[in-house]
Amino acid sequence: MEKIVSFCKKRGFVFPSSEIYGGFSSSYDFGPLGIELKNNIKKYWQDSMKQEDNIVGLDSAILMNPMVWQASGHLTAGFADELVECKKCHHRFRKDFAKKNCPDCQGGLTVPRKFNLMMRTFVGPVEEKASEAYLRAETCQGIYLNFQNILQTMRMKIPFGVAQIGKSFRNEINPKDFLFRTREFEQMEMQWFCHPKQASGFFDSWLKKRLKWYAQIGLKVRTTEVLKKDRSHYAKKQIDIEAQFPFGWKEIEGIHNRGDWDLSNHSKHSKQDLRYYDEITKQKYFPYVIETSVGVERLFFALLCSSYEEIKGGRSEKSIKEAETVLKLDKKLIPFKAAIFPLVRNKPEIVKKAKDVFNLLKPFSIYYDETGSIGKRYRRADEIGVFWAITIDFDTLQDNAVTIRNRDTMEQKRIKIKDLIECFKKQFFPMD
């Protein structure tokens, strides 16, 4: 865990937020490499949704009418954790994190009480009950509110889906474990509206699709069906997709059958008819919703844990003795596909050629590095998951070819500069 956290900071993936002021509880900033990885994860998810038939996108507001959260059950039903307080040091904990005694001083604990997780704020200049609002706790509520808008404007027919990526907020009692549990995080959620009779079949097919997606990004996952007593308040059925973290297998995505919980409750509270009219059967009904919901930062963290490898003594005979790190991230997600290295930097013809190659390949997300020995540059590239290290050497000036070194096998190949773009397309974008 400490290794990943310090690696994230050292290599520009994740910085503690407000660091110069001593940080701020469980808030993080994504650095130049982190944001590349995060964007690639989001893009790959969005692309996979776009490839499905009948899925449209949405970007709904974070701040909504507070009635939304009354109707969804987040202010009333089960969206609360049990809070206990230490009678000695007065630290507060989620009941399931504290067991019998205070984890900090072993003091006795108070009787648990419910603590609602909605993050409260005020809109407008006056801080009073009437201006109270909430930061959304899940992105999908915006999708339900726009159900009729989307039906009408896009002439959608059931079954269809709406996919959205956006920030959510929860006032977690004990945010912890780095990016795993924070108060501000992003979700990638898809809501599939279907006839109630088809919900069970779609639940299974969406679970299969999501598992295939994880296989495609090289992340080992497993599934756990959540028992009724532990399910989210809206879920008729819930299967968690879990990945391995330094502290064990934990949920990264939930697949939920939400039934008609959301649409029927919003209908009731808003007094708007949110039922679907089936033109063939001439029937009106509340569709069931199958939801897939994954946290971006949790997935990001799981991917780093699974791809971070330390090789003691290094990977090649020429290596220095200390451990070498290789980030074996899937090449679809890596922040940089390739790095361009002139073998030496005191030979203007080689530097010029290297810059020409850099300019040629710029659209593919690459970087240029001429500092340090070639071995050091290889190691820096391996550490951040760069898939190809491309070296421009003395021979390049004669044969217009470069050496490409593969991150995982360390195999080196000579490739003509004129063939590079084609090679990039084949290697990184085989579907295009």
Binding of residue 404 to ligand GAP (CB under 6 A): no
Of 199, 119, 172, nearest to 298 by C-alpha is: 172
CA distance 349 to 113: 72
Query: Taking the complex as a whole, how short is the minimal distance between the CB of residue 253 and ligand GAP, in angstroms?
Result: 5
312: three-class secondary structure by DSSP: coil
Binding of residue 164 to ligand GAP (CB under 6 A): no
Binding of residue 84 to ligand GAP (CB under 6 A): no
Of residues 28 and 388, the one with the C-beta less far from ligand GAP: 28
Q: How far is CA 306 from CA 55, 173, 218, in A?
A: 30, 28, 9
CA distance 275 to 281: 14
CA distance 249 to 242: 6
Of residues 169 and 388, the one with the C-beta less far from ligand GAP: 169
Residues 113-152: x where in contact with ligand GAP by CB under 6 A, - otherwise, as a string: -------------------------x-x------------
User: How far apart, in Å, do the first and last CA atoms of the chain sit?
Assistant: 38
**Residue 232: which region, alpha, beta or left (left: phi > 0; alpha: psi -120 to 50)?**
beta
Q: For ligand GAP, which residue of 81, 297, 324, 369 counts as binding (CB under 6 A)?
A: 297
Size of the site for ligand GAP (CB under 6 A): 19
Query: Taking the complex as a whole, how short is the minimal distance between the CB of residue 402 and ligand GAP, in angstroms?
Result: 41
Of residues 296 and 327, the one with the C-beta less far from ligand GAP: 296
Tally of CB atoms within 10 A around 18: 12
Of 272, 270, 274, nearest to 260 by C-alpha is: 274
> Of 105-113, 128-136, 142-150, 246-254, which part binds ligand GAP (CB under 6 A)?
246-254
CA distance 66 to 168: 15
Query: Taking the complex as a whole, how short is the minimal distance between the CB of residue 352 and ligand GAP, in angstroms?
Result: 47
How many H helices and E strands in the chain?
A: 13, 23
Query: Taking the complex as a whole, how short is the minimal distance between the CB of residue 1 and ligand GAP, in angstroms?
Result: 16
Binding of residue 191 to ligand GAP (CB under 6 A): no
Of residues 297 and 324, the one with the C-beta less far from ligand GAP: 297
Q: For ligand GAP, which residue of 52, 82, 177, 251 counts as binding (CB under 6 A)?
A: 251
> Of 94-102, 108-116, 245-253, 360-368, which part binds ligand GAP (CB under 6 A)?
245-253
Q: Does residue 342 have a cis peptide bond before it, meaning omega lies within 30 degrees of 0?
A: no
206: three-class secondary structure by DSSP: helix
Q: For ligand GAP, which residue of 172, 260, 324, 369 counts as binding (CB under 6 A)?
A: 172
CA distance 30 to 10: 12
| H helix intervals, 100-254 | 140-145, 147-154, 199-216
Binding of residue 253 to ligand GAP (CB under 6 A): yes
Binding of residue 85 to ligand GAP (CB under 6 A): no
Query: Taking the complex as a whole, how short is the minimal distance between the CB of residue 259 and ligand GAP, in angstroms?
Result: 14
Of residues 186 and 324, the one with the C-beta less far from ligand GAP: 186
Tally of CB atoms within 10 A around 366: 19
Query: Taking the complex as a whole, how short is the minimal distance between the CB of residue 23 and ligand GAP, in angstroms?
Result: 17
Binding of residue 262 to ligand GAP (CB under 6 A): no
CA distance 120 to 131: 11
CA distance 382 to 7: 13
Q: For ligand GAP, which residue of 170, 210, 353, 407 counts as binding (CB under 6 A)?
A: 170
State the residues that interact with ligand GAP by CB under 6 A: 138, 140, 170, 172, 181-182, 185, 187, 189, 251-254, 291, 293-295, 297-298
